[in-house]
């Protein structure tokens, strides 16, 4: 993908679930979930998810949901960018597109969890906070003992206000 390649951002459809799953496999650094989960997100959570495509292929995705106990929040679950498109700001563009998705438009808080070693996600989230002139806070969320052995703890990061 060149810098001039036009990108199209849109909600995912049922046909995107398997492609998202394959992209996660290619990326290799994201938690790998079942294909069924990505199918479910693409079928039932289209208002809080977005995909980016270029030249007819899926180049990235952002998945999110509205936590029922925190209705002002949009929770960013995963952002993935094809290795061929990394380093060009696509992750930030995907987060922006997610925040404009129908199910996120009235959210005032952006949340995600980030492992201590995930510097790229931390930098992305800090850039979004700076861009929006918002405060960013982090707190304990999932400890290592919540996961199977070998998975790091994940802190809850919150950016507010995002509007």
Domains in the chain and their CATH numbers?
A: 8-160 (3.40.630.30)
Low-confidence winner among 3-17, 67-81, 85-99, 123-137 (lowest mean pLDDT): 3-17
Give the chain's length.
Answer: 163
Q: Are 97 and 62 in contact (CB under 8 A)?
A: yes
| Closest C-alpha to 13, from 45, 35, 59 | 45
Q: So what's the pLDDT on residue 109?
A: 98
- Where helices occur in 5-134 by DSSP H, the ranges are 16-27, 35-44, 90-99, 119-132
Q: Please compute Rg for the chain using Cα positions.
A: 15
Residue-averaged pLDDT of the chain: 94
**Sheet harboring 49-54: ordered strands across?**
8-10, 49-54, 57-65, 73-81, 109-114, 154-160, 135-142
Say what angle helices 35-44 and 16-27 make with each other, to 10 degrees.
130
Tell me: pLDDT of 2 over 80.
no
CA dihedral 91, 104, 4, 15 (to 10 degrees): 90
**Collapsed DSSP state (helix, strand, coil) of residue 34:** coil
Residue 6, pLDDT score: 85
Going by C-alpha positions, the residue among 132, 143, 127 that lies closest to residue 107 is 132
Bond preceding residue 161 cis, omega within 30 of 0: yes
- The answer, yes or no, to whether residue 142 has pLDDT greater than 70, is yes
Q: What does the pLDDT read at residue 11?
A: 97
Higher-scoring residue by pLDDT: 104, 88: 104
For CA atoms 145, 151, 153, 156, the dihedral sign is: negative
């Amino acid at each position: 993908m060149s810098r001039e390649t036009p990108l199209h951002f849109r909600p995912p459809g049922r046909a995107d679930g398997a492609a998202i799953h394959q992209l996660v496999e290619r990326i290799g650094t994201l938690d790998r979930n079942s294909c069924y989960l990505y199918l479910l997100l693409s079928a039932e959570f289209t208002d809080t998810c977005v995909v980016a495509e270029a030249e007819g292929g899926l180049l990235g995705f952002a998945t999110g949901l509205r936590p029922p106990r925190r209705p002002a929040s949009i929770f960013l679950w995963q952002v993935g960018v094809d290795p061929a498109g990394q380093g060009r700001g696509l992750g930030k563009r995907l987060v922006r597109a997610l925040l404009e998705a129908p199910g996120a438009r009235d959210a005032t808080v952006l949340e995600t969890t980030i492992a201590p070693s995930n510097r790229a996600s931390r930098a992305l989230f800090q850039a979004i906070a700076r861009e929006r002139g918002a405060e960013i806070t982090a707190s304990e969320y999932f400890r290592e003992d919540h996961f199977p052995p070998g998975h790091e703890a994940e802190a809850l990061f919150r950016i507010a206000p995002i509007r």
